[in-house]
Structure 1
Amino acid sequence: MTTTTTPPPPRLASADVYRGFVMLLMMAEVLRFHKISEALPESGFWRFLAHHQEHVEWVGCSLHDLIQPSFSFLVGVVLPYSIASRLKQETNFWKVFRHALWRSLILILLGIFLRSQWATQTKFTFEDTLTQIGLGYPFLFLLGFRSFRTQMIALGVILAGYWLAFALYPLPDAQFDYNTAGAIKDWEHNLTGFAAHWNKNTNLAWAFDRWFLNLFPREKPFLYNGGGYATLSFIPTLGTMLIGLIAGNILKSDRESREKLKLFLILGVSGVVLGTLLNWSGICPNVKRIWTPTWVIFSGGWCFLLLSFFFWSVDILQKRKWFFFLTVIGMNSIAAYVIAHTVDSYISDSLKIHLGQNYASILGDAYQSLIHGGLILLFEWLILKWMYDKKLFIRI
């Protein structure tokens, strides 16, 4: 990881704004909309916001569920620009590839470091955003040098192969002890029939982690992930990054801007519709937590639609000033990610020390999390703004 005192190479403005939007959604978790909704149970407005600030239990999608696929998608979007920039500085491919491997390793280690905070020892886990991207990045980098046809074949192999691997994994038998897997036999979100191959902690990815994660030092043996998340999700996450790579190649092409926008909209709507149909058919459910192939297609569609909006607003209409708040975050996304996972608790404690334990009740107890979280978010943005003004950009 390096800190530069000069601006990075020319960037795709819409990608920075889109990334800033995604990081803002993550940072805004400090607003704790669910607490306001619980305090005001009759309010449909706060119930709606609370729903979209949390992950769905299993099948389906909320706005919050689109954070990780968007971040992964954008890694692919900017890769053609990154490759072009690196090749201008270094003509030796293997040196450039070694840099990609180094970037991958830093992402993995940073993810593990952040997950290990407040633990008694290193917490080896590989399902968070940074480690998932890090595990797939070398393969994405290599595919960035291949033809569109090869990239599409790779995407097809990833989706079909991952689907088949889950489909062939045997379902729990009558003697299966669901408690040992942190699962509930009659859980309301369990799928039935063929789709049961993608149920929580009774699937192929869970079985893999029961073996893989126990290879690392642990306080106690790994039995299951409480949320159902899995290491192997980096494989379909690579599919999401590949979709982003396709979008990035379109952006970097000589097509007219309006043609690019039209293509993004077509691909976006097609992905959402196809993903919805695959989920309804029972062929493959739409589950973000284990990143099913249907989720790759469905969330990829939404990523195209979001990119369409920001590309149209920022790059076509040239309304960059409207999105300055998001640009500040998006141009320092790694710093924003680390700040949101480290500094927020320090800011929270400091506010209560200096303003009083009950200062956030100024608008009533129901809105305490909104006032307190809003101030935390403001201070985090001001840190990023200071870095932006000083041209301090953390890059991996």
Structure 2
Amino acid sequence: MKVQTPVSKERLASLDILRGFDLFMLVFFQPVFVAFARHWQDVPVFSFLLNQFEHVQWEGFHAWDLVMPLFLFMVGAAMPFSFEKYRTNPDKAAIYKKITKRFFILFILGAVVQGKLLSLDPLQIRIYTNTLQAIAVGYVISAMFLLHLSGKWQLAATFLLLAGYWAFLTFLGDFTPEGNFAEAVDRAVLGRVRDGVSYAEDGSWSFSDNYHYTWVLTSMVFGVTTMLGVFAGQIMKNGKDKLKNSRLLSIIGVALLISAWLLSFQTPIIKKIWSASMTLWSGGLCFLLMALFYYIIDYKGRSKGLNWLKIYGMNSIAAYTLGMVINFRSVANSLLWGLEKYTGDYYSAILTFANFLILFFILQLMYKLRVFVKI
């Protein structure tokens, strides 16, 4: 991990702003909105929005289910720009070192964020359970495809990954929480270090009946989602006509949504196991969002009112890790505790707002100082 101050001239503003939008939703808007809107959940509009800011329990798709796929997609979208200098270099040692280093750092950070690594308790640590780790795997798969396959073979390999995952889930299980093959693989491979495992007083352990997110076999489609971002990045990098680029991104997005809808009659859209139809559905939405941001920002040049999102977008890993690991509520509580008697039930929501506002100020300072944490 290192800190860089220069910004590449080849960076697309839409990439940074869309990434910032995703991170802003994750580490500011959603937790703050939910904290306040819970008090107004009897109002229909707030009830609907609260529902959209929660993950679907099994089949279906809410707006909040797009945050993680979009994160992976944006990682892929940046790769054609960052990997260009390595593709023509006969000495691949430098890029392999970069790939390996990034993989391990992301995997460790994922364990810190959600795997209870800092508990230093072997019974509590969970190995593979976080978005950063999914990014690490998707990044490695996409890096290998970018470095060693031509454009058409990248498409073919991505399709084979998706088709292979579809076949595993279709022919080796069903699409229920307990009966899907991805769940069986996770239980067999991760065992007691799988998230959701609980220990009894006698030392025996068991899997949770409520935890059904899958990771090991699902790594195949983490790679697919990241590669969809790569394809979007290649369109924006190689296409000379930005209007045509935005149209092509839109067309692909619609095509993916239609494909997902058709496939959903056989393979339900299930985010927790990242089903093939969910991969296509979320990928289609990612392409449409990318097309919209690219059209407005890079083609029309209208970024006024949006540039502040770069505060999150250009320090995305720092924003995510700080937002998930460090609790600034204690700082806020030290300063605001006198308000509790006046604000009642709203005091907890005010602390949530202050927590993420402090994070925003930290990221804003880093941005002004041109301090960007890169992995």
Instruction: Give the TM-score, by structure 2 length.
Output: 0.89
* Alignment match of 1:317 (pick from 290, 300, 303): 300
Match of 2:232 in 1: 247
* Count of aligned pairs: 363
* Alignment match of 2:274 (pick from 291, 294, 299): 291
Match of 2:315 in 1: 332
- Counterparts in 2 of 1:106 and 1:298: CA distance versus 1, 3 Å: same
Aligned mates of 2:223, 2:76 — CA distance in 1: 9
Measure how far apart 1:368 and its partner are: 4.3
Match of 2:84 in 1: 84
Contact kept? 1:162, 1:293, Cα under 8 Å: yes
Counterpart amino acid of residue 124 in structure 1: R
Q: Does 1:136 align with 2:158?
A: no
Unmatched 5+ stretches in structure 1:
171-196
Counterpart amino acid of residue 306 in structure 1: L
Counterpart amino acid of residue 372 in structure 2: F
Aligned mates of 1:265, 1:226 — CA distance in 2: 37
SS in 2 for 1:3: strand
* Deviations 1:188-209 (CA, angstroms, capped at 9, x unpaired): xxxxxxxxx1211322121112
Aligned mates of 2:164, 2:341 — CA distance in 1: 51
Aligned mates of 1:342, 1:360 — CA distance in 2: 29
Match of 1:200 in 2: 177
Q: Does 1:73 align with 2:73?
A: yes
Aligned mates of 2:101, 2:206 — CA distance in 1: 28
* Alignment match of 1:354 (pick from 335, 344, 348): 335
Measure how far apart 1:358 and its partner are: 4.3
Counterpart amino acid of residue 99 in structure 1: K
Unmatched 5+ stretches in structure 2:
200-204
Contact kept? 1:104, 1:135, Cα under 8 Å: yes
**39-48 vs 311-320, which moves further:** 39-48
Question: Alignment identity in percent?
Answer: 28
* Deviations 1:280-321 (CA, angstroms, capped at 9, x unpaired): x2x111011110111110000000111111111211121233
Measure how far apart 1:8 and its partner are: 5.2
* Deviations 1:77-105 (CA, angstroms, capped at 9, x unpaired): 111101024568x6512321221122111
* Deviations 1:180-226 (CA, angstroms, capped at 9, x unpaired): xxxxxxxxxxxxxxxxx121132212111222113759984462473
Contact kept? 1:31, 1:369, Cα under 8 Å: no
Contact kept? 1:360, 1:371, Cα under 8 Å: no
Q: Which runs of 4+ in 1 moved over 6 A?
A: none
* Deviations 1:149-184 (CA, angstroms, capped at 9, x unpaired): 1112112211111111112224xxxxxxxxxxxxxx
Match of 2:18 in 1: 18
Aligned mates of 1:360, 1:381 — CA distance in 2: 27
Contact kept? 1:107, 1:134, Cα under 8 Å: yes
- Counterparts in 2 of 1:369 and 1:315: CA distance versus 1, 3 Å: farther
SS in 2 for 1:286: coil
Aligned mates of 2:319, 2:341 — CA distance in 1: 24
* Deviations 1:249-285 (CA, angstroms, capped at 9, x unpaired): 1011133001001111111112122212222x2x111
Contact kept? 2:75, 2:229, Cα under 8 Å: yes
SS in 2 for 1:198: coil
Measure how far apart 1:241 and its partner are: 0.7
Counterpart amino acid of residue 241 in structure 2: E
Query: Aligned Cα RMSD in Å?
Result: 2.4
- Counterparts in 2 of 1:199 and 1:390: CA distance versus 1, 3 Å: same
Contact kept? 1:17, 1:330, Cα under 8 Å: yes
Counterpart amino acid of residue 47 in structure 1: S
Match of 2:165 in 1: 162
* Alignment match of 2:353 (pick from 347, 357, 374): 374
Counterpart amino acid of residue 232 in structure 2: A
Q: Does 1:96 align with 2:95?
A: yes
Counterpart amino acid of residue 139 in structure 2: Y
Aligned mates of 1:237, 1:225 — CA distance in 2: 24
